[in-house]
């Protein structure tokens, strides 16, 4: 059998410590390196450094047009910073929520005996819904100790215009922690739970917890889906199919209705692609990596000689109709994954191209686009490109 074309290493860069899992984020031509005390913006293909922003306790990053949003875990409550995308200079910081003018104008102060600042949670997350930036704050409820320390704090959502950074709306939820969030079709769906057993991966995860669907334009509650926290992508603004995995099953869920379309039983924990790619849903189990038709759940192919790579959201690494995995040198049959990056065609499971890389045995973060894959391991980022076209 003819060996597949070989990819090429574009560059290597020593970067120091990055956040495990979420340390790499690709947006357009830019690659963001998120460390514990700095955010570095590189040109993704050339390795040219555009800027560095220094701050401690950085948690997450995303970009909207000419603004880069950075989540920071400060001493008392999470903060959201806005940086200029071309300069990395800070141009805005999220107002402390109790002093938000939108809240004072539209929402009465809750009748709590504690001071307003005590109502704020210590955790935060954010999501971009079109031109609306939604910043969520909450206290963790993921253990008995955390629940006692939460003191009944409510989760909160703050809407800002992502273009002008003007405050738009405020919503206060229930005494619970945020365990999932999604945006689609002009809606923001917030999965909240006060379950002291926390984030579980079995079939009972979030079974009783609600999904609160807010309208992105004004923050009004459009619907509360009972038991909907299990499938935060399934809400009135969503369409298509999503894949959810537990220790016992893979489920394909119709996003418009929340109904399970099909189920495949498994005897081990799995990692999946949350949304179909080229009509396929992919999942890894103890038997290897396999593909299922998104419409029916029918198995299409399986590989037992490769090992998964995951992106910042913990799902399988995919881009451009390929799923990226580590595997043996093409043409060998060692039975064990090796130090080669394989780009598998999601429709057939065959290796479209491959390249050797000594970083694959210890990858801590990865991101992929059709033109380049970035891997972070042992404090080094490696950029790998597909073969040049003849």
Whole-angstrom Cα distance, residue 323 to residue 278? Answer: 11
Residue at token pair 């509360």: 224
Q: Are 156 and 136 in contact (CB under 8 A)?
A: yes
Rg (the chain; Cα; Å): 22
What is the residue-wise DSSP string for 1-30? Answer: -PPPPB-EEEEEEE-----TBTSEEEETTE
**pLDDT computed for residue 120 by the predictor:** 66
pLDDT digits (tens, 9 = 90+) for 250-305: 999 999 999 999 999 887 768 999 999 999 999 998 889 999 999 999 999 999 99
What are the structural domain ranges in the chain?
Answer: 1-44+305-390, 55-233
- Tell me, yes or no, if the pTM score tops 0.85: yes
Report the candidate in 225, 205, 204, 206 with the shortest Cα–Cα distance to residue 214: 225
pLDDT digits (tens, 9 = 90+) for 162-199: 988 899 999 999 999 999 999 999 999 999 998 876 55
**Average pLDDT score, the chain:** 87
Fold of 55-233: Lipocalin (2.40.128)
pLDDT digits (tens, 9 = 90+) for 193-230: 988 765 554 555 677 899 999 999 999 999 999 999 98
Report the candidate in 350, 359, 353, 326 with the shortest Cα–Cα distance to residue 340: 326
Average pLDDT over residues 331-336: 65
What is the residue-wise DSSP string for 134-150? Answer: EEEEE---SSHHHHHHH
**pLDDT computed for residue 199 by the predictor:** 52
What is the residue-wise DSSP string for 56-103? Answer: SSEEEEEEETTEEEEEEE-SSSEEEEEEETTT--EEEEPPPGGG-HHH
């Amino acid at each position: 059998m003819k060996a597949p074309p070989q990819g090429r290493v574009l560059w290597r860069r020593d970067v120091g410590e990055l956040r495990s899992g979420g340390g790499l984020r690709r947006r357009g031509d830019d690659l963001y390196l998120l460390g514990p005390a700095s955010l570095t913006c590189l040109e993704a293909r050339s390795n040219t450094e555009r800027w560095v922003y220094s701050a401690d306790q950085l948690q997450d990053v995303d970009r909207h047009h000419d603004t880069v949003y950075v989540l920071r875990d400060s001493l008392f409550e999470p903060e959201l910073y806005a940086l200029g995308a071309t300069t990395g200079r800070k141009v805005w910081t999220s107002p402390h929520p109790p002093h938000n003018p939108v809240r004072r104008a539209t929402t009465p102060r809750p009748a709590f005996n504690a001071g307003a600042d005590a109502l704020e949670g210590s955790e935060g997350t954010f999501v971009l819904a079109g031109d609306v930036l939604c910043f969520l704050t909450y206290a963790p409820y993921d253990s008995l100790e955390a629940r006692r320390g939460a003191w009944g704090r409510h989760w909160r959502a703050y809407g800002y215009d992502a273009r002008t950074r003007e405050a738009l709306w405020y919503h206060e939820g229930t005494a619970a922690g945020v365990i999932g969030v999604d945006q689609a079709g002009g809606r923001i769906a917030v999965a909240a739970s006060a379950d002291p057993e926390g984030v579980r991966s079995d079939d009972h995860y979030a079974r009783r917890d609600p999904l609160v669907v807010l309208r992105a334009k004004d923050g009004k509650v459009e619907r509360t889906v009972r038991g909907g926290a299990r499938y935060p992508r399934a809400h009135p603004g969503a369409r298509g199919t999503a894949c959810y995995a537990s220790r016992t099953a893979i489920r394909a869920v119709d996003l418009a209705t929340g109904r399970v379309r099909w189920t495949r039983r498994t005897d081990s924990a799995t990692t999946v692609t949350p949304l179909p790619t080229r009509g396929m849903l992919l999942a890894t189990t103890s038997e290897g990596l396999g593909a299922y038709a998104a419409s029916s759940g029918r198995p299409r192919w399986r590989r037992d000689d490769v090992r998964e790579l995951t992106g910042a959201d913990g799902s399988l690494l995919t881009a451009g109709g390929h799923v990226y995995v580590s595997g043996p040198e093409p043409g060998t049959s060692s039975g064990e994954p090796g130090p080669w990056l394989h780009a598998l065609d999601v429709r057939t499971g065959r290796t479209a191209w491959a390249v050797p890389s000594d970083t694959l045995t210890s990858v801590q973060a990865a991101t992929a686009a059709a033109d380049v894959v970035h891997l972070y391991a042992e404090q080094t980022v490696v950029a790998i490109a597909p073969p040049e076209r003849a």
